[in-house]
Amino acid sequence: MGVLEKFSLAGRTALVTGGYRGLGRAFADALAEAGADVVIGARDVAATRQAASEVAAATGRKVVGVELDVNDRASGRAAIETAVQRTGRFDILVNNAGACVHRPALDVPDDEWDAVFSTNVDGLWKLSQEAARHFTTVGGGTIVNIGSISAQIVNRPQWQPAYNASKAAVHQLTKSLAAEWAPLKIRVNAVAPGYVKTEMAPVDEPRFKARWIDDAPMQRYAVPEEIAPTVVFLASDASSFMTGSVVVIDGGYTLH
Ligand code: NDP
């Protein structure tokens, strides 16, 4: 097999949570371009269906938009069932859906803390477990979690304690599941992006420039298309000996 063929996802099906905008949309585009059929799942069902038809038109792959709330285990299970029913299989889970709230720790109400953890950690856990239960019936699969440099550093000037702690949990859960599920031929890896221009990260706001941009060795933010190739790599046979890895993609931000 040639080296580029190892990156091919032809004949596989991926589920991307939160895949209609931002990073998730770039992942859906890239996975489909690499040959995968794709299910996009998020709470805004109109947006997921619109994105699915755009990705399908651009790539010629089968792409399905479904309503999915990662907090709701049943809707995660239904998204996986849709993948199997509509494409005949399910091989790749990209746990991309995430939430972030900027607020000083002294002011964070319980419901806000719970909402961030519920989406970023509990939701990722539930979908990973549902996916892995399917993967055990078909001989394996891959999971790519979207972590963050916020697992390693404390972002400034804004405070986001729940988000930072939740992403540290994502990185450690990635390693824990990777170790436990390696004998089941389920690989679990994560990417940890730095600042990427999306609705979650208002990278153009002047108040963030000194910390977010000027502090980064590359002196810029990323666009989602710069993170997507690594997700394809981690989803594909090109990374066949990788599991439990957290790949930092941050323009050097976390270098000291
Ligand atoms: P966006 O806010 O642009 O997109 C988030 C997506 O997640 C939306 O499609 C949203 O759709 C979906 N989502 C949120 N909650 C749920 C839920 N409960 N169930 C299903 N889908 C949900 O964010 P980004 O693209 O910036 O972020 C994507 C991932 O990348 C997140 O995990 C984030 O933490 C991570 N990340 C982002 C960085 C950045 O700089 N942008 C840096 C590092 C990591 P809907 O609300 O309709 O459900």
Segment 235-255 shows an average pLDDT of: 98
101 ligand 1 Cβ < 6 A:
no
- Dmax (CA) for the chain in angstroms is 56
pLDDT in tens, 145-186: 999 999 999 999 999 999 999 999 999 999 999 999 999 999
User: Can 253 be counted among the known catalytic residues?
Assistant: no
CA distance 9 to 163: 32
CA distance 142 to 3: 19
C-alpha 122 – ligand 1 centre gap (Å): 14
C-alpha 242 – ligand 1 centre gap (Å): 25
Testing ligand 1's pocket by substitution, the residue of 75, 121, 198 carrying the most ligand atoms inside 8 A of its CB is 198
Testing ligand 1's pocket by substitution, the residue of 75, 164, 200 carrying the most ligand atoms inside 8 A of its CB is 200
pTM of the model: 0.98
Measured in degrees and rounded to the nearest 5, phi and psi for residue 7 equal -90, -10
pLDDT on residue 116: 98
192 ligand 1 Cβ < 6 A:
no
Domain ranges of the chain: 4-251
pLDDT on residue 122: 98
Q: How large is the angle between the packed helices 161-181 and 124-138, nearest 10 degrees?
A: 20
Q: Which residues pair with 123 in a beta bridge?
A: none
Q: Is 90 exceeded by the pLDDT of residue 20?
A: yes
201 ligand 1 Cβ < 6 A:
yes
Catalytic residue among 163, 195, 221, 253: 163
C-alpha 93 – ligand 1 centre gap (Å): 15
pLDDT on residue 256: 76
The domain defined by 4-251 folds into Rossmann fold (3.40.50)
